[in-house]
Amino acid sequence: MKLFLKTILIFILLILSIETSMAKKISAMFEITTSEHVYAIGHPVDVIFETRNHNQSLSSLNLDVLEKDFIVHDFNVDKFEDFVDGKFIRVENLVARLYPKRTGNLKIPSFKLGRLKSKAIFLNIINDFNSAIQIRTTNVKKTYYQREPINIYVDVFYRQKKILSSIGELKNKDFITSESVKTEYTITRNGASIPVERFSWIITPLVEGKQILKLPMIKTGGRRMYPSGNLKLNILPLPSTLPNFVPVSAQLISNNQITNEKLWINKVYFWTFTIIGNGLNENILEKLLSKQLKTNFNIRYFPRTYKKERTADGTQYKIDVKIPFKLYKTERYQLPVIDIPYIDIVTGLLEHTYSRKISLNATSHLIENSKLIFSLILLLLIFIQPLSKIIKFTYIKYRYRKCYAAISQTTNPNKIKDILFQLTPRFNNQSIMTLAGWEDLAATQNSNQQVTLNKISKLLNSSIYGKQYSENDIVVLKNLIKSLI
């Protein structure tokens, strides 16, 4: 009986030992799987990391080791319980979507999670012969200087029709990289028009030596993502004697002008110009201009503004500069010549780009108004004598016509004398009543008027000495006056 009980006890312990061993085996499970082992470039590779009954979460895994051969596009972690052999066990899945960076044999390395370690997975990445796009990377030279701007681009050719595409961000700690600029054009191949999209950057190497620049992936509509390649560059150091802030490429100064043609003192105007080139930024430009533009008693410069953007073709930068200034004296000014130093990449020497000379003439409102008043006075002096003659002539003609009408209406000698008296410009001057007065008036007229006025003066003189006017005299007077009108 005791032997039987011992046998049953040993059997129960054996079963418990087996179950415990099975539980431990389940809890120790950590594996990585993929649905296939052969993928076409551009297609996603979904990798599943799975643990069972493990306390450490898969979110603690460092997936950076995959970035050598893959783009880790996204991943998500899912936790749930599974019923196995009559028991609930904890299950955790991490699904990572990877995109291969190149063709060939690629390896997903083994991962360690606590005491557990997964097996490595080997994949064969082949060309995608059914791809809707073809990618071509810029053919750049291999050697550049530090801080020498480099234009790079990636062209995407569409085999049939254009589809939606985008490109990732270009990042590298050893380069200054611009944002990508996207342009479009078409080419003709075998009689067919093929749309092309170009993504371009301006990069500036900071570190000397051999560098490998990994270009970002091209993403097309749907789930495709294609590598655009790598650039191998040899970066040469600059001579230590050259300034460390000077751009390593030629600079061009254009549109150098003043916003107004006529300048007044004590008024703000704007000096504008554009610098086209690479390697120059607003901070460096501000340092250069602050040394070259100095405020003094004659001119004052105010804070400058800058606007930097890529040129239309995306190969260069342009900086629009706007400099407010004010003039204080009425004199001729010579604005400073802007000097932009740069390093010639051919000779390796320090060169300079200069702006054209700009001369200014400043004036004041007081001087300008004085000039205007002087001009008006001069014009008045020039025209006052002819104008006075015209006015005097017009006035005399008017009185001749008035006298002619008045004499036609009377035969009274005294009234006729009064009417004739009005013929002279010296109206109400008693000396006109003498013959000498009329002769003096006649002497100022032209030859024809002089004869006529002499005749009138004789008739007037006769009347003064008592002669009465006859009808014939009145007719003669009317005709004489009429000849003056």
Answer yes or no: are the C-beta atoms of 202 and 188 closer than 8 Å. Answer: no
Separation CA 370–CA 203 (nearest Å): 60
Separation CA 434–CA 416 (nearest Å): 15
Answer yes or no: are the C-beta atoms of 334 and 357 closer than 8 Å. Answer: yes
Count structural domains, the chain.
Answer: 4
pLDDT in tens, the chain (485 residues): 555 556 666 666 666 555 555 444 556 688 999 999 999 998 999 999 998 887 788 888 888 899 889 988 888 888 877 766 667 788 888 899 999 998 999 999 999 888 888 899 999 999 887 787 888 888 778 889 999 999 999 998 887 777 778 888 898 999 989 888 888 888 888 878 888 888 999 999 999 999 989 899 888 877 788 888 888 999 999 888 778 788 988 999 999 988 777 788 888 999 999 999 998 889 999 999 999 999 988 899 999 999 999 888 888 999 999 999 998 888 788 889 999 999 888 887 889 999 998 888 877 555 555 666 667 767 776 777 677 766 766 766 676 667 667 766 766 666 766 666 665 544 334 434 444 555 555 555 555 555 565 566 555 555 544 455 566 666 666 666 666 55
Answer yes or no: are the C-beta atoms of 138 and 199 closer than 8 Å. Answer: no
* Domain termination site, one of 363, 397, 431: 363
What pLDDT is recorded for position 192? 81
Render pLDDT for 330-340 as a digit per residue (tens, 0 to 9).
878 888 999 99
Strands 225-226 and 268-277 come out as unpaired
What pLDDT is recorded for position 273? 95
Whether residues 257 and 336 share a domain: the answer is yes
3-class DSSP assignment, residue 468: coil
* Domain termination site, one of 101, 126, 151: 126
Whether residues 402 and 321 share a domain: the answer is no
Answer yes or no: are the C-beta atoms of 298 and 332 closer than 8 Å. Answer: no
Q: Would you say residue 166 lies in a domain? A: yes
Q: Which domain holds residue 453?
A: 386-484
Q: Name the strands in the sheet holding 45-52, side by side, starting at the edge strand that comes first in the sequence.
A: 30-34, 45-52, 87-100, 70-84
What pLDDT is recorded for position 11? 60
Query: For residue 404, what is the enclosing H or E element?
Result: helix 365-407
Whether residues 272 and 219 share a domain: the answer is no
Separation CA 195–CA 192 (nearest Å): 10
Whether residues 285 and 195 share a domain: the answer is no
Render pLDDT for 26-43 as a digit per residue (tens, 0 to 9).
566 889 999 999 999 989
What pLDDT is recorded for position 329? 82
Separation CA 124–CA 194 (nearest Å): 31
Whether residues 347 and 399 share a domain: the answer is no
Whichever domain contains 347, its CATH number is: 2.60.40.740
Whether residues 256 and 353 share a domain: the answer is yes
Render pLDDT for 107-156 as a digit per residue (tens, 0 to 9).
999 998 888 888 999 999 998 877 878 888 887 788 899 999 999 999 98
What pLDDT is recorded for position 479? 66
What pLDDT is recorded for position 466? 44
Whichever domain contains 222, its CATH number is: 2.60.40.10
Whichever domain contains 68, its CATH number is: 2.60.40
Residue 170 exposed, middle or buried by CB count within 10 Å (0-12, 13-18, 19+): buried
What pLDDT is recorded for position 449? 56
Q: What string of H, E and C letters represents the secondary structure of 212-277? A: EEECCCEEECCCCEECCCEEEEEEECCCCCCCCCCCCCCCEEEEEEECCCCEECCCEEEEEEEEEE
Whether residues 150 and 222 share a domain: the answer is yes
What pLDDT is recorded for position 399? 66
Whether residues 442 and 349 share a domain: the answer is no
Q: Would you say residue 378 lies in a domain? A: no
